Chains A and B, each alone.
Chain A
Amino acid sequence: MSILVNKDTRLLVQGFTGSQATMHSEQAIAYGTNVVGGVTPGKGGSLHLDKPVFNSVLEAKELVNPNAAIIFVPAPFCKDSILEAAEAGIELIICITEGVPTLDMLIVKEKIDALGLKLIGPNCPGVITPGEAKLGIMPGDIHLRGSVGIISRSGTLTYEAVKQTTDLGLGQSTCVGIGGDPIPGSSFIDILKLFQEDDETKAIVLVGEIGGSAEEEAADFIASYVTKPVISYIAGQTAPAGKRMGHAGAIIAGGKGTAADKIAKLKSCGVHIADNLLEIGNTVKAVLG
């Protein structure tokens, strides 16, 4: 087992013919992901990467029945693309694009929840189940199928955690990048629930960063509902207050959202802390024994 994506995932690519979408779709197909087609309004009826192009998500839904969509359209159009996929009933929507306005996300999130669908991102590397399906921009070859579930707010930092667990032979069940924005489609808690229920996942790595209170909320959830070992690393221990560290969500505001507070809270809820970035893999190994 794994979570969210597997060999039965039928992927639709929105913004399919754009350069980023093309490059990452090629990689996804090479990895073995079942890409059933893409959407670029106005280019319907043509073929791209040997896959059919549709004018709308609904048209694609009727003809090739995708159960997941990945979005590469520019930020101003993401709200439209996500809601188009949602309206067509696509169960899992992954938005890679960064720079989506926060107020757009308030509306999008409300609608996604009301429809009972799943959204990952925006501003995220996507989701991968090693050896089965790659829905995102992560490098496929650093992954190894195994027993660690990884959740992260950051892209390259996730790769670092992946690489360490691969090098130690632990491998990953599924890796989920939830994105660095203030209003993510899925929270740590949403993904923790899935990993808790997944038989293949023996330990969960939660890679957090400064800003907001998502890690603190996750800690409370872990204390009450997660029986599997959770290992966490929090980036931004040396970040000054009031400065936004790249991600829109990574800012220490009004003395809240510091790494020290998050680490203390996670520890108090039974989470194992990797003191520094280099110790993520070793901490998992030590915990799993």
Chain B
Amino acid sequence: MNLHEYQGKQLFAEYHLPVSNSQVIFSANEAKEACFKIGGCKWVVKAQVHAGGRGKAGGVKLVNSPEEAEAFALNWLGKQLVTYQTDANGQKVSAILIESCTDIAKELYLSAVIDRSSRKIVFIASSEGGVNIEDVAKNSPEKIIYESIDPLTGPLPFQARRISKVLGLNSLQSKQFNQMLPNFVRLFQEKDLSLLEINPLVIKEDGNLHCLDAKINIDSNALFRQPKLVEMRDPSQEDPKEQEAAKFDLSYVSLDGNIGCMVNGAGLAMGTMDTIKFFGGDPANFLDVGGTATQERVANAFKIILADPKVKVVLVNIFGGIVRCDLIAKGILAAIDEVGVNVPVIVRLEGNNAESGSAIIEESNYAIESLNNLQEAAKRAVELAQ
């Protein structure tokens, strides 16, 4: 799950990490009052969407009057912001963050992720901030430092000093960073983050370190113990079909093709998509109905797949492990009966009791074909989709 910048900065403030004085607004008429509350005569207004690249897309602006801030909010709230990180439709601007203006002396980069290889939280820092870190890694790797945190000891001052050196901090800033680093780690661990990124972390004109941006991803597996973060979820930033699927505990990702897929297991679902593509077709979605494909789950899966008007044919690929295929076949028919499916359906059942499962499908009155190997099933689906 992703957070908005303003939510990330609320967490930063909670962990004594330096952020700008700010207000978040959800309607344009709150803009002027927000500017007065913050004070000063210059503000930065930032459109809140779950995507980077906002500045280049016009979603971030320096304004010199509360009226200008209001005009920005009026222009952007509820509109779609398209950046290089979004798709062509962009993401809906659901809030505007208004901040006091920061005088920047230098832009730096800091992030933390869980590194799968070393199995530790790793901090990535660079003296080149405000730019794409992947480019820095490619063009000037010597400007990046990776520092992993030992779960036994936590972050140590020598590590903070090592990062400070690469960031080019003076002794005062280095002391500040030494105080910040344990707070970043605590935030990461206590809130179950999977990504924390500050790009840029800046040195202000007055010489102090300051977090100018906040990108935070949370480990979805840990949401059960993060009720406050769950409240921060912004459904407007998520694909409605994916949300609907999540409600039914189905894993769904919408794609561009016209062959709807329903598969049990994430790996097999990807394998099925690949097979469709191999035979010249295009999958409309990734959908994992889970290990136990019950009638209820299959019915919900059909509803979600068929809500996509692109879908011309549905390919069901179930490897019945512990669940018997004859029961799955009955579930599929009952689900089709319940939902009212009006496109051809190809079913491939394999595993436990597959033959009687296929027989049940063939004897039904629906426009549904049973093919017992994936190759034929995928070919047939591709043929029908053309």
> Which A residues fall within an 8 A CB radius of B?
23-24, 27, 75-76, 99-107, 109-110, 125, 137-139, 141-142, 152-160, 163, 180, 182-183, 207, 209-210, 212-214, 217, 233, 235-240, 243-250, 254-255, 259, 275-278
Contacts and interface: CB of A to CB of B under 8 A. Distances in A.
B277 interface: yes
A103 B120 contact: no
A137 B222 contact: no
Given A101-B192, A137-B322, A155-B291, A180 B350 contact: no
Contact of A209 (B134, B225, B270): B270
A156 B116 contact: no
A107 B266 CA distance: 26
Given A183-B119, A278-B374, A156 B274 contact: no
A142 B268 contact: no
B352 interface: yes
A278 B265 CA distance: 16
Contacts of A137: 291, 321-322
Contacts of A160: 268, 271, 319, 350, 374
18 contacts: A102-B221, A105-B119, A106-B114, A106-B119, A141-B352, A153-B267, A156-B267, A156-B268, A156-B321, A160-B271, A235-B271, A237-B274, A239-B273, A239-B286, A248-B221, A250-B266, A259-B274, A275-B278
A106 B121 contact: yes
Interface string B270-287: 111111111000010010
B369 interface: no
B80 interface: no
A156 B373 CA distance: 15
Given A153-B267, A154-B268, A155-B321, A238 B283 contact: yes
B299 to A, nearest CB: 20
Nearest to B317: A156
A141 B354 CA distance: 12
A217 B288 CA distance: 28
A101 B265 contact: no
B364 interface: no
A249 B222 CA distance: 15
A254 B265 contact: no
Given A110-B152, A156-B265, A183-B116, A277 B222 contact: no
A238 B266 contact: no
Contact of B320 (A139, A244, A250, A278): A139
B270 A75 contact: no
A245 B253 contact: yes
Given A235-B271, A237-B274, A180 B266 contact: yes
Contacts of B265: 154-157, 246
Contacts of B319: 156, 159-160, 163
A207 B322 CA distance: 21
B221 A99 contact: yes
A276 to B, nearest CB: 5
Contacts of A213: 116-117
A104 B225 CA distance: 12
A164 B350 CA distance: 11
A212 B116 contact: yes
Contacts of A235: 267-268, 270-271, 274
B255 interface: yes
B158 interface: no
Contacts of B350: 160, 163
A276 B266 contact: no
Contacts of A105: 119
A49 B75 CA distance: 67
A246 B225 contact: no
| Top-5 shortest CB links A-B | A154-B267, A246-B266, A156-B265, A157-B267, A101-B222
Given A100-B221, A102-B114, A139-B320, 12 more contacts: A102-B192, A103-B189, A139-B322, A142-B351, A154-B266, A155-B267, A155-B321, A156-B265, A213-B116, A238-B274, A239-B273, A245-B253
A95 B141 CA distance: 39
A279 to B, nearest CB: 10
Contacts of A246: 251, 265-267, 269-270, 286, 288
B225 A76 contact: yes
A193 B320 CA distance: 31
A278 B276 CA distance: 11
B151 A183 contact: no
Contact of B351 (A103, A107, A139, A243): A139
A24 B13 CA distance: 48
B152 A157 contact: no
B220 interface: yes
B347 to A, nearest CB: 15
Contacts of A180: 266-267
Contacts of A207: 267
Contacts of B277: 237-238
Contact of B374 (A182, A247, A277): A277
A239 B270 CA distance: 7
Contacts of B119: 105-106, 109-110, 183
Contacts of A141: 352
Contacts of B270: 157, 209-210, 235-236, 238-239, 245-246, 250
Given A103-B192, A277-B374, A156 B152 contact: no
Nearest to B134: A254
